[in-house]
A and B are shown apart, each in its own frame.
Chain A
Amino acid sequence: MPSIQCFGRYLPERVVTNAELAGTLGRDAEWIRQSSGIEERRVAGPDQTVVDLAVAAARDCLGRSSVSGVGVVIVASGSSERRFPGPAAEVAHALGFAGIFALDLPHASTGGLFGIALAAELAPVHGPVLIVAAEKIFQPAPAAAPEVAILFGDGAGACLIIPDNAGLRILDAALHSDGSNSESLYMDLTGPITMNGLAVIRNAGRRLPAVIQELLTKHAIAPGEVTAFLTHQANQNLIDRVARALNVPSGRFYSNIHRYGNTSSASILIAASEWGESATLQSGDIVCFAAFGAGFHWGALLTRQT
């Protein structure tokens, strides 16, 4: 049974606070915090690319791993600079894995989660799978609407899936997509992000708890039995709403959105990476991952500590 061995992350150095952003948006810094839970976000340098961010996070992850090589590299990004090729082959090359199977996953928001689920299927055949999710997705005003500009930040996360039963064993995943809502959240190649925030909130608020419950029910696990929930960091109010819907204390949902904002596909891996450094799991502990985003795509993934 494949397992998650370790995570990694990279956040650009430059911090943009709400106070700095408020000046360009004509909005109050406290309004930004109250409506999103975000206090600051990171912004990549003008010369940094999605590949650069991805490689830095991947190196951090590989530095924590025990493997000497990988069979597959999956790179998720909703903000890569080119229509093609995607960043996967270039990331694999930069890591010294030229010639291996590299796969692009152009999912914003859910790319990290879908990548883990896909890797769990690939690892038994191809060996260790490195998933990297990288986004250069900070949305400057005035091109972006204020409701969008406050949310997004740059960053990258990574995760290594091994075919062995050691670490966070992947039990199951439930993944869903519904293209009827594709106009509610999208970004053309030239940007900026266009978002019907109310449609996103309404759908995410319903579908995230539903897919988590779907997976837990299938495995006869009550929400209260889950040690930790690691979710896409979209909005703190949404995370709290999902916790309430599942009747689980908000504290079970790890959150770092106040420091990084919404880093789209990277957020769940960045959160998992930070969470993993302080988590003290016992054998048998359940950890549930979940994400919702553009597409709409949404899903959950269940793991158990070996």
Chain B
Amino acid sequence: MTRQEKIAEIVKRVSKKPAPPDPEESLFDSGYLDSFALTDMVTELEQEFGLTIPDADLSPRRFESIARIEQYVDSHAEPL
């Protein structure tokens, strides 16, 4: 499973919605995430990719879409 697929699975699990969103689609505008679901997702990202995401990084912009989340994970996780 690719990183993007793993992220999509986390988004599905946290949002409790069946279909994975388009990687470029806003997770907030499309109703996949709100502030509370985003904090759940961040916890799952930390566990899945071995990250420690500091509070200072908790801005919706960084986690706006699956593509943006993948960029964040790529720049903070160990290389594949």
Using CB atoms and an 8 Å cutoff, list the residues of chain A in contact with chain B: 35, 181, 184, 196-199, 201-203, 205, 237-238, 241
9 examples of A-B residue contacts, CB within 8 angstroms: A181-B55, A196-B55, A196-B58, A198-B39, A198-B60, A199-B55, A199-B56, A202-B58, A205-B36
Those 7 A-B pairs whose CB atoms lie nearest each other, nearest first: A199-B55, A198-B58, A202-B39, A199-B58, A201-B39, A237-B36, A201-B35
Closest chain-B Cβ to A240's Cβ sits at a distance in Å of 9
Question: Quick check: B34 and A198 within 8 Å, CB to CB?
Answer: no
Question: Quick check: B55 and A202 within 8 Å, CB to CB?
Answer: yes
**Complex CA–CA separation, A170 to B56 (angstroms):** 37
Question: Quick check: B39 and A205 within 8 Å, CB to CB?
Answer: yes
Question: Quick check: A35 and B58 within 8 Å, CB to CB?
Answer: no
> Please, which residues of chain B bring their CB within 8 A of the CB of A184?
55
Closest chain-B Cβ to A300's Cβ sits at a distance in Å of 21
Closest chain-A Cβ to B25's Cβ sits at a distance in Å of 19
Total number of residue pairs linking A and B with CB closer than 8 Å: 34
- Identify the closest chain B residue to A199 (Cβ): B55
Interface 1/0s, chain B 31-65, versus A by CB < 8 A? 00011101100110000000000011011100000
Question: Quick check: A202 and B34 within 8 Å, CB to CB?
Answer: no
**Complex CA–CA separation, A201 to B43 (angstroms):** 12
Interface 1/0s, chain B 54-78, versus A by CB < 8 A? 0110111000000000000000000
> Please, which residues of chain A bring their CB within 8 A of the CB of B60?
198
Q: Check A203/B55 contact, CB under 8 A, given A198-B39, A198-B60.
A: yes
> Please, which residues of chain A bring their CB within 8 A of the CB of B56?
196, 199
> Please, which residues of chain A bring their CB within 8 A of the CB of B42?
198, 202
Partner of A241, one of B36, B38, B55: B36
Q: A35-B35, A199-B56 are in contact. List 11 more A-B contacts (CB 8 A).
A: A181-B55, A197-B35, A198-B35, A198-B39, A198-B42, A198-B58, A198-B59, A199-B58, A201-B35, A203-B55, A237-B36
Closest chain-B Cβ to A229's Cβ sits at a distance in Å of 19
> Please, which residues of chain A bring their CB within 8 A of the CB of B59?
196, 198
**Complex CA–CA separation, A29 to B44 (angstroms):** 31
Closest chain-A Cβ to B56's Cβ sits at a distance in Å of 8
- Identify the closest chain A residue to B55 (Cβ): A199
> Please, which residues of chain B bring their CB within 8 A of the CB of A241?
36
> Please, which residues of chain A bring their CB within 8 A of the CB of B58?
196, 198-199, 202
**Complex CA–CA separation, A203 to B55 (angstroms):** 9
> Please, which residues of chain A bring their CB within 8 A of the CB of B43?
202
Q: Interface centre among B34, B38, B58, B59, by most A CB within 10 Å?
A: B58
> Please, which residues of chain B bring their CB within 8 A of the CB of A196?
55-56, 58-59
**Complex CA–CA separation, A237 to B34 (angstroms):** 11
Q: Interface centre among A184, A197, A241, by most B CB within 10 Å?
A: A197
**Complex CA–CA separation, A112 to B14 (angstroms):** 34
- Identify the closest chain A residue to B36 (Cβ): A237
Q: Interface centre among A201, A205, A237, by most B CB within 10 Å?
A: A201
**Complex CA–CA separation, A198 to B59 (angstroms):** 7
**Complex CA–CA separation, A35 to B38 (angstroms):** 13
**Complex CA–CA separation, A203 to B39 (angstroms):** 9
Closest chain-B Cβ to A59's Cβ sits at a distance in Å of 38
- Identify the closest chain A residue to B43 (Cβ): A202
**Complex CA–CA separation, A205 to B41 (angstroms):** 13
